Amino acid sequence: MIVASLRNCLAASAVLATLLAALPAQADTFRPGWRFSPPPGITLTTGKPNHALALQGNAYVSPIYLRQVVPFPTHERAGTIIIDSQSHFLYLVLGNNHAMRYGIGVARSGFEWSGSHRVTRKAEWPSWTPPAEMRKRQPGLPVRMEGGPANPLGARALYLGSTLYRIHGTNEPWSIGQNVSSGCIRMTNEDVIDLYARVEINAKVVVR
């Protein structure tokens, strides 16, 4: 259970939003020993502190990227995921010209892509096996990392087609709204858990 005053949460969000606006795009790096710290004013009383802390990412996100239902005229069927990389938004089509909109982090320069795939697999607290080319670029990466709060894939992952791309959570929630990844789509852990519960295997994913 998380105990926090609304006033403190709002104040923390405002300060963090200001800091985020000044941050440059960050590299997609792995930092051994990284630990998630809660915003000021939040006291943790759960029996699983690491997992609970990992689910406080939205406090680090600019308000514009918080999850919300928005008007979204489209010919795509309900359940389709549409990713607008330029604006850093993911839309889950709800039907009746509306969508659930989520803030995301997208590929950094040189790793951008577009196209259409299907969700072929879903995983909770997924393990991570960095591909060989990524480990060549970043020799400090592990060969494999078990799922958990320190894992860069975060709380959930949706695997796209037969590619190495995923829509997944993150242990760096402040990277939402930035071009930071090697091609995957990042979400806060809270948001990817919400999306995971709404999306079915074989759902269409369009990346623009």
Give the domain CATH number at 150.
Answer: 2.40.440.10
**pLDDT score at 121:** 98
- Is there a domain that residue 88 lies in? no
Residue 155: pLDDT band by 50, 70, 90 thresholds? very high
Domain count, the chain: 1
CB distance 66 to 58 below 8 Å: yes
Q: Does the annotation mark 9 as catalytic?
A: no
pLDDT for 109 beyond 70: yes
How crowded is residue 45: how many other Cβ atoms within 10 Å of its Cβ?
9
- Is there a domain that residue 83 lies in? no
How far apart are the C-alpha atoms of 24 and 200, rounded to whole Å? Answer: 35
pTM: 0.74
Helices (H) and strands (E) counted in the chain, each on its own, are 4, 13
- Is there a domain that residue 80 lies in? no
**pLDDT score at 10:** 40
- Is there a domain that residue 56 lies in? yes
CB distance 180 to 25 below 8 Å: yes
- Is there a domain that residue 97 lies in? no
- Is there a domain that residue 30 lies in? yes
Range of the domain at 158: 1-60+105-208
Residue 20: pLDDT band by 50, 70, 90 thresholds? very low
pLDDT for 39 beyond 70: no
- Is there a domain that residue 96 lies in? no
* Closest alpha carbon to 102 in 90, 92, 94: 90
pLDDT for 4 beyond 90: no
Q: Does the annotation mark 168 as catalytic?
A: yes
CA distances from 51 to 66, 68, 173 (A): 20, 24, 14
Position with higher pLDDT, 28 vs 138: 138
